Amino acid sequence: TKNKTIKEGPAVINLVSEKVFYNPVQEFNRDLSILVLNVFSEDYRAEKTLQAQKKAQNKSVADTIDDTDKQEVEVTILEALSATGLRSIRYAKEVANITKIVANDISQQAVQTMKVNFEQNEVSHMVEASHDDACMLMYKHKQPSQRFSAIDLDPYGCPSIFLDAAVQSVQDGGLLLVTATDMAVLAGNSPETCYSKYGAVSLKTKCCHEMALRILLQCIEKHANRYSRYIVPLLSISADFYIRVFVKIYTGAIHCKKTTSKLAMVYQCVGCDNMTLQPLGGFKPNPTEKNPNQMKAFLPMGPPVTEHCVHCNQRHHLGGPIWTAPIHDPVFVSRVLGELCSERHSLGTRDRIEGVLSMVREELHDVPLYYSMDRLSGRVHLETMPMLLMRSAILNAGHKVSYSHASKTSIKTTAPTRLIWDIVRTW
Ligand code: SAM
């Protein structure tokens, strides 16, 4: 047993046993989560205060205003898989407006370690150590009055076994923060495992990192829909060897009916790697209806994709379903960037976060997936075309173009595939 001291941000932790997990590379993940939680908790407090005020106003004068109306809005966080407790210590010290944090782990050694760390960092009044199976603990908190404002899932590998409990134990308008580190599975190395874990087939493609994010999002949505709940993604990041998504959870059966229109199957050409989306279909809004939620006929799945690729006549592989609605909320992303610049934080990975979020903010957030410049040029056996040239050709043809934060050689665009090939062939 080795006793090691680690400092990250304002937290100092002791690693008494090597069996308790600590990964220095995840500092970026923790720093980013701190910024996101700061922006989220401010919004959440404001939203819940407004809701309480409206509720109080709606009561007639004769009604007595009960104690729940007067209560301060509580912002509670569950770190369901906490290991050393480092993340919870940092949330306690660096996130404003937090009432209480529960740090949980199934390992007795981890819980002993975190208790020592909470004492040493003087956060014991705010952070409670819990020794339980994460799912069992979350199921105990699924009643609305018991739910957490935010739940952080940071497991080894795949998070899907925790999702059923997590989507039920977050408040309405609350936040779910989910990490997945099983990138080989999500990026197409074992599509069958991906199906059994996430309910979607992954593909080996240049845009696999964004596809991984979209597979995880459809998986969370599917779990939420079982309880008439649905997700609204705020920020979805691919970094190093993992992905991390931040989604809000709401309740509303009518919104769950819109889920199929946010999903598509993916046809990947084995020759040119072209990706064609086949929407799962959905309810068409009724233009004569004043209420926009009153939907008309269900449109079935999009037209079948041709057996062979129309660009190079090769076969298709079928993957998905993936989430095709936006994966970020650009307004929220700008506010996280604002939080980063507010000088309240001194984060070890500040510059990297600024770089990544600036790219995310510029991403064409309603265009799923992307082309890869090296793959396009490679397919026609040409030297890789300069990125700037490609981007200006697309812009000159009147279409939108952006990078994806997930790849340096990515081209996200509204341009049709035929135009992309014309540009590549003729430059
Ligand atoms: N969030 C931590 C951080 O930022 O440093 C790292 C968490 S580590 C990747 C995963 C932890 O989950 C391990 O400490 C492990 O003991 C714990 N764990 C695994 N299965 C669990 C379960 N079913 N319930 C609760 N904890 C579990």
CB 153, CB 78: distance < 8 Å = no
Most confident residue range from 54-63, 152-161, 285-294: 152-161
Q: Give the rounded percent of residues in the chain with a pLDDT score beyond 70.
A: 93
Q: Candidates 16, 94, 106: which one to mutate for ligand 1, based on the most atoms within 8 Å of Cβ?
A: 106
Q: Where are the domains of the chain?
A: 4-54+72-259+321-362, 371-426
d(CA 83, ligand 1 centre) in Å:
5
Residue 86 in contact with ligand 1 by CB distance below 6 A? yes
Residue 286 has pLDDT above 70, yes or no: no
Residue 126 confidence (pLDDT) above 60? yes
Q: Which atom of ligand 1 is nearest to the CA of 22?
A: 5
Cα 84 to middle of ligand 1, angstroms:
9
Quote the ligand 1 centre to 422 CA distance (angstroms).
50
| Number of CB atoms found within 10 A of residue 108's CB | 9
CB 166 within 8 A of CB 153: yes
> Closest ligand 1 atom to the C-alpha of 86?
5
Q: If you measure from the C-alpha of residue 408 to the centroid of ligand 1, how many angstroms do you get, rounded to a whole number?
A: 32
Which atom of ligand 1 is nearest the CA belonging to 81?
Answer: 12
Which fold, 371-426? Phenylalanyl-tRNA Synthetase; Chain B, domain 1 (3.30.56)
What average pLDDT does this structure show over 349-353?
97
pLDDT in tens, 188-227: 999 999 999 999 999 999 999 999 999 999 999 999 999 9
Distance CA 224, CA 230 (A): 5
Cα separation, 397 vs 303, whole angstroms: 27
Mean pLDDT in residue range 388-406 = 97
Ligand 1 centroid – CA 201 distance (Å): 26
Of residues 369 and 15, the one with the higher pLDDT is 369
* DSSP state at residue 131: E
User: Is the CB of 11 inside a 6 Å radius of any atom of ligand 1?
Assistant: no
Q: Give the whole-angstrom CA distance, residue 309 versus residue 329.
A: 33
Q: For residues 320 and 324, what is the distance between their CA atoms, to the nearest angstrom?
A: 10
Is 410's C-beta closer than 6 angstroms to any atom of ligand 1? no
| Ligand 1 proximity of 27 Cβ (cutoff 6 Å) | no
Pairing of strands 407-413, 371-372: antiparallel
Residue with the bigger pLDDT between 69 and 160: it is 160
Average pLDDT over residues 234-238: 98
User: Hey, is 208 helix, strand or coil?
Assistant: helix
Looking at residue 347, the DSSP 8-state letter turns out to be -
90 lines ligand 1 (CB under 6 A): no
CA distance 248 to 167: 10
Strand order in the sheet with 242-251: 127-131, 100-105, 76-79, 148-153, 170-180, 242-251, 229-239
Is the C-beta atom of 156 inside 6 A of ligand 1? yes
* pTM for this prediction: 0.94
**Is 357 a pocket residue for ligand 1 (Cβ < 6 Å)?**
no
CATH number of 4-54+72-259+321-362, picked from 3.30.2290.10, 3.40.50.2300, 3.40.50.150, 2.40.30.30: 3.40.50.150
Phi, psi of 273 (to 5 degrees): 65, 10
Whole-angstrom Cα distance, residue 333 to residue 290? 32
CA 12 to ligand 1 center in whole angstroms: 19
C-alpha–C-alpha distance, residues 413 and 423, integer Å: 13
Task: Name the average pLDDT for the chain.
Answer: 92
Task: Name the band, by pLDDT with cuts 50, 70 and 90, for residue 301.
Answer: confident
Give me the pLDDT at residue 1, please. Answer: 47
Q: Which of 28, 82, 179 to mutate to test the pocket of ligand 1 (most atoms within 8 A of CB)?
A: 82
Dihedral of alpha carbons 26, 27, 32, 34, sign: positive
* Spacing, Cα 364 to ligand 1 middle (Å): 35
Residue nearest to atom 13 of ligand 1 (CA): 83
Compute the distance between CA of residue 98 and CA of residue 77 in angstroms, rounded to an integer: 8
Cα gap 229→166, rounded to integer Å: 12
